[in-house]
């Protein structure tokens, strides 16, 4: 057993609200400097920068997790994580028909850079990524889970796009045994006995390392990223 520092909610420069300096390589490098061992890339409604992110994390010795922050039709943010990169990219493709095609206005919202290996910009997503999808909370959670992923409500301690702020409660369906908070001091009173993930929702490089959170896993850093991800997903799913 070993303790791993983690952050499972981080945005790259693909998210328009993320700084342009939040490139996959910079995120992996900052994670190394801050001492964060496991990092999930969770851009709004897209997994397109996860390939570059996995390559960068391999270079820096950080364990990467692929995912996204999905916006449901109710305007609720949900963290979606996948154990394998291939699963995440398949989910990204499956998600596209449910996205609203609202043009991104770069001068207002910011860039949505898509990158390939070594942070080379290969384009921008033309549609505004944070816009709500046409998937309901139940449909979105079901879709993620059917493709082998883990889905749970993001930042329930935040008014903007937080599930509790929008619904006022945890719904009966879908069932969530896990939820995310940004401040662990709020966890006990909000989570209702559910397991809690504490993550930064980082949009800037300086957001890393402000507060380090830990999770205990039955493996060591020497076991490599595939083993660490496997044990992380077992822990999060309660297996």
Q: Residue 174: is the preceding peptide bond cis (ω within 30°)?
A: yes
pLDDT recorded at residue 218: 96
Would you give the DSSP letter of residue 103? B
Q: Which residues of the chain have pLDDT under 50?
A: none
Domains, in order of start, for the chain: 2-237 (3.20.20.140)
Cα(224)–Cα(234) distance, rounded to whole angstroms? 16
Q: What is the pTM of this model?
A: 0.96
pLDDT recorded at residue 184: 83
pLDDT digits 0-9 by tens, 35-76: 999 999 999 999 999 999 999 999 999 999 999 999 999 999
Containing 117, the helix (H) or strand (E) segment is none
Q: Which of 11, 24, 28 is nearest to 71 (CA)?
A: 11
pLDDT recorded at residue 187: 81
pLDDT recorded at residue 210: 75
Cα(79)–Cα(87) distance, rounded to whole angstroms? 15
């Amino acid at each position: 057993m070993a303790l791993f520092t983690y952050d499972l909610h981080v945005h790259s420069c693909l998210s328009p609200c993320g700084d342009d300096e939040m490139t996959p390589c910079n995120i992996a490098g900052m994670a190394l400097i801050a001492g964060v061992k496991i990092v999930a890339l969770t851009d709004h409604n897209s997994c397109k920068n996860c390939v570059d992110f996995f390559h960068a994390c391999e270079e820096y010795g950080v364990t990467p997790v692929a995912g996204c922050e999905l916006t449901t039709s109710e305007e609720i943010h949900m963290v979606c994580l996948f154990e394998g990169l291939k699963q995440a990219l398949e989910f990204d493709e499956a998600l596209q028909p449910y996205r609203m095609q609202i043009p991104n206005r770069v001068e207002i919202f910011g860039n949505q850079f898509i990158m390939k290996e070594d942070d080379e910009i290969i384009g921008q997503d033309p549609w505004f990524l944070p816009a709500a999808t046409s998937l309901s909370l139940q449909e979105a959670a079901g879709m993620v889970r059917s493709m082998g992923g883990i889905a749970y409500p993001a930042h329930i301690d935040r008014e903007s796009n937080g599930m509790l702020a929008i619904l006022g409660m945890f719904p009966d369906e879908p069932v969530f045994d896990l939820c995310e908070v940004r401040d662990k001091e709020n966890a006990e009173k909000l989570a209702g006995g559910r397991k809690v993930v504490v993550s930064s929702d980082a949009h800037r490089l300086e957001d890393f390392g402000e507060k380090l959170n830990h999770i205990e896993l039955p493996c060591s850093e020497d076991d490599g990223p595939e083993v660490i991800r496997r044990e992380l997903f077992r822990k999060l799913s309660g297996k």
